[in-house]
Amino acid sequence: MSDIILKIENISKQYRLGLVGTGTLSHDLKRWFYKVRGKEDPYLKIGDTNDRSQKAESDYVWALKDINFEVKRGEVLGIIGKNGAGKSTLLKILSRVTSPTTGTIKTKGRIASLLEVGTGFHPELTGKENIYLNGAILGMTKAEIKVKEQEIIDFSGCERYIDTPVKRYSSGMRVRLAFAVAAFLEPDILVVDEVLAVGDAEFQKKAIGKIQDISKGDGRTVLFVSHNMAAVENLCSTAILLENGEVKFKGGTTEAIDMYLKGQQFQSGSINSKFIKKVRILNKENDEVDQLMMGEDFTIEVISSGINEVKGLHLGFFIKDSFEQKVTAFSTAMKSVEVIYDSNKNDDTYFFKIKKPNLIEGNYKLDITVAYKTGGRLDYIDSAISFNVLAKDVYGMGVLLNSYFGKIYLDVETTLKVKG
């Protein structure tokens, strides 16, 4: 017996921009006339690719185009891609929220979906009533739902408010309850969109642990969409990379993430700031660079205006990895600043000299922040600049350290005392 639980064949979804249907009665009648005669829809032959950065040349756009893949029972499939790539549209089609324009979907078993916040909940019903409503939609009997009811309530952490109408819940409470309902009512396929980002860190950890239990312990299938590459790498056994509505890659999770990150533009972001004019990375020779060897000293140069003139105002930065995870940070509030006056300078320039950085090979971004020491941020520049750190045999033992070893390396002296 085949262990394929979900098969997607030639799925495409076409929209007409800004309109319902084809937008005109004549177009709708033409589409209907072709259909009753058994001919192909004439409007399927036209339409732009789903590239949001390009100006539209047609009224029609393909949100998805010729999507084909299979998912095995017990597999956790990550679906990644930029905003607008078609991830949420694909999940809505799989969840039967919307229908595909072309193609077929073959499934075995029940599908439970966790899409936008509050999807599948009736706002006037209480939390408990919505548990039974969702169970009924999945085809479960009242007795089957009753067995799972307390587990759902305990996991969601909403017991105090379980008899309160859902419309009075915060977005975080809705996500907690929705996830608990979807996970504990034992669907054969669980579809999870980016909504987990709404929950707090504690709940995200619980939810990821539950997804792992569902797939490994219970042998059920999970489709997981997220922009958190660390979560995707940790959770998913395989991944699909969507680009402009098409499958660009399907295979191992690490390879998919690498391809996704290589497609990102790791370049200096445009700086639109009252305080910051320019940010540069300088090597030991004070040349501007975007690549450094592991362990190489470098300087972050920030040309600013007005920060030094405001009492209590400080300049800082975060170094983030390619997964948008913070690696380290520094601020002038942490350590006194040596002030040098230069009559030839029209602007203030901060030089952050970083000695023996322990960053391991990879892509890094620099966020700049302007804030008061006591709290109160005046400016935050996301991805002000980016740079690459190249692998190196820092220990001299013939081993090139790369991202497999983490984000930082340690300067370690090892001593072995042997019995004599």
- Of the residues 233, 263, 293, which one is the last residue of a structural domain? 263
Per-residue pLDDT reduced to its tens digit, 351-372: 999 998 999 888 899 999 999 8
- Say whether both 130 and 9 belong to one domain: yes
Joined tokens for residue 178:
């929705």
Task: Examine the domain organization and report whether 281 and 243 are in the same domain.
Answer: no
Query: 282-297, pLDDT tens digit by residue?
Result: 998 999 988 888 889 9
The answer to whether position 412 is within a domain reads no
- Residue 241, domain CATH: 3.40.50.300
Do 246 and 345 share a domain, yes or no? Answer: no
> What is the pLDDT at residue 359?
92
The residue range of the domain holding 59 is: 4-263
Sheet holding 4-16, edge to edge: 48-49, 60-72, 4-16, 102-107
What is residue 266's predicted lDDT score, i.e. its pLDDT?
43
Total of domains in the chain: 2
For residues 16 and 62, the answer to whether their CB atoms sit within 8 Å is no
Mean pLDDT, consecutive 10-residue segments, the chain of 420 residues?
A: 82 72 62 68 55 58 89 91 86 86 88 72 90 84 89 89 91 84 84 71 79 81 83 86 91 84 54 86 90 90 85 90 88 85 76 91 90 84 88 79 80 86
Is there a single domain that holds both residue 179 and residue 119?
yes
The answer to whether residue 417 is domain-embedded is no
Q: Are residues 236 and 325 in the same domain?
A: no
Domain boundary among the residues 240, 263, 286 is at: 263
Domain match, 221 and 145 both? yes
d(CA 259, CA 239): 11
Report if pTM > 0.95.
Answer: no
- pLDDT (0 to 100) of residue 88: 85
Question: Is position 413 within any domain?
Answer: no
- Pick the closest to residue 92 from 66, 69, 120 (CA basis): 120
Residues 364, 221: one domain? no
Q: What is the pLDDT of residue 274?
A: 84
Q: Is 96 inside any structural domain?
A: yes
One-letter amino acid at 202 equals E
Whether residue 213 sits in one domain with residue 123: yes
Residues 125 and 209 in one domain: yes
Q: Report yes or no on 244 lying in a domain.
A: yes
Claim to verify: residue 142 and residue 16 sit in the same structural domain: yes
Q: Do 230 and 303 belong together in one domain?
A: no
In degrees and rounded to multiples of 5, residue 14 shows phi and psi of -110, 140
In a domain, 40, yes or no: yes
CATH classification at residue 305? 2.70.50.60
Of 263, 289, 310, which residue sits at a domain end? 263
- Angle among Cα 233, 236, 240 to the nearest 5 degrees reads 90
Asked if the structure places residue 270 within a domain, the reply is: no
Pairing of strands 298-304, 276-282: antiparallel
| 410 within a domain of the structure (yes/no) | no
316 and 383 in a single domain? The answer is yes
User: Could you tell me the two tokens for 418?
Assistant: 């042997």
The pair of three-digit structure tokens given for residue 239, joined into one six-digit string: 């991944």
